[in-house]
Structure formats: structure tokens, C-alpha cells
Amino acid sequence: MKTDDLINLLAAGDARVDRKAVLRRFARALALGFAGSVALMSVVFGVRHDLMSVMHTPIFWAKVAFPLCVAAAAALAVSRLGRPGRRGGYAWALVALPFVAVLAGAWLALGDAAPAQRMPLVMGLTWRTCPFNIVLLSVPTFAAVFWAVRGLAPTRLRAAGAAAGLFASALATIAYCLHCPEMSPAFWSVWYVIGMLLPAGIGAWLGPRLLRW
């Protein structure tokens, strides 16, 4: 559309806005991104063989709830920062809550464990690869979230990029829970957190480049 045509359209008062367009854009992008992360996890790592039995335990759902709550709070931060001139505000406090909760869970788990068991609870069996696995699984969700955010109008590009990267990595972590054998909050409080914060940092770095409009 040419500039003159746009001016004439606005002057005529026929500038209808589809208020659900952004919601549909996000829903489509996130469905594809999350499906991509789940598919990538299945191909590269595989679903844990005892998933059906472990799904009947409360600790498994606590593990899933951690990145799920991070994703919900990060989505709120993204929606706020996607508007011109808006700050993350209280959304950042909500983002912090799941991290505080998992640290509290780690403290309780370590407090109940014998001194010789505490380090194994923190390190688990997969500490060397866990954060990098999450970063790898974040690739589909990262691309999807950034594509969706570009349809908004963020002005605080680094903050928006960080929130988008955290949102993407939290979704990827949910997918990773279907593979990961680690069942201790002490492990999640270190290695899941690192895995989620790395894409957030990458998002903050790339935000001014990818989200500029």
C-alpha cells in the first residue's frame, strides 16, 4: 500500500483492526515452535522409557510446573514489552517467582538429604549436557517466538528479546522434561535455570537486531 492510499484510508475512517490477529499469530507460532521442540527432543534424545509410570508421581508434575510457570510469566512480559513504550513492570516479579520456588524446593531437598548425598542431588547424572540440550531444543521455539514478537511493536528491544528468549527456553524445557531423568529440585534449580537463562541472554543480545521495526 502506498503512503497516499494509507492516508486516504485513514481519513475515510475505514481503518478496521483485527484485535485477534496478534493472538492468532502467537498461537500459530507457539504451536509450531513447541511441536518442533518436542519432535527434536524425540529424534535427538528420545522420550524416557518410563514416562507413563513417572507421570503418576507428583514430583514429575512439579518438574513440569517449573518451566510452565516461567513460560506463563515470560509470555506476560513479552505481551507487555511488545507494546510501544511499555516496560515489563510486575511481569518481571512474576517471572522471578518460579525461580524462587524451585530454589526453595532445592533447599528443602538438600536439607533432608545426608551430607554425602547433597552433591549428587545437585549434579545428577546429566549436568554436563542438560543446559546445552535445553538450548538446542529452544531453537524451534526461539524462532517462533521472535517471529511472533516482530508482529508487535516493541521499543525496549533488549528487554523484549530477553523475555522472548526466556519464553522460548521455558517452552523447550517443558519438552525436555519428557526426556530428562533428573527428578530433584536441587538439579533443576541449577541446570534447568542455566538452560533457560542462556537463550534469554541470547535473546537480549539479538533483540536490537531481530526486533527492530
Q: Who wins on pLDDT, 2 or 160? A: 160
Q: How many CA within 13 A on the CB side of residue 117?
A: 9
According to the model, what pLDDT value does residue 56 have?
Answer: 96
* Domain positions in the chain: 20-210
- Indicate the DSSP class of residue 192: I
Look at the block and give the residue holding cell 514429575: 60
pLDDT digits (tens, 9 = 90+) for 70-104: 999 999 999 889 888 888 889 999 999 999 999 99
pLDDT digits (tens, 9 = 90+) for 126-172: 999 999 999 999 999 999 999 999 888 888 999 999 999 999 999 99
pTM listed for this prediction: 0.88
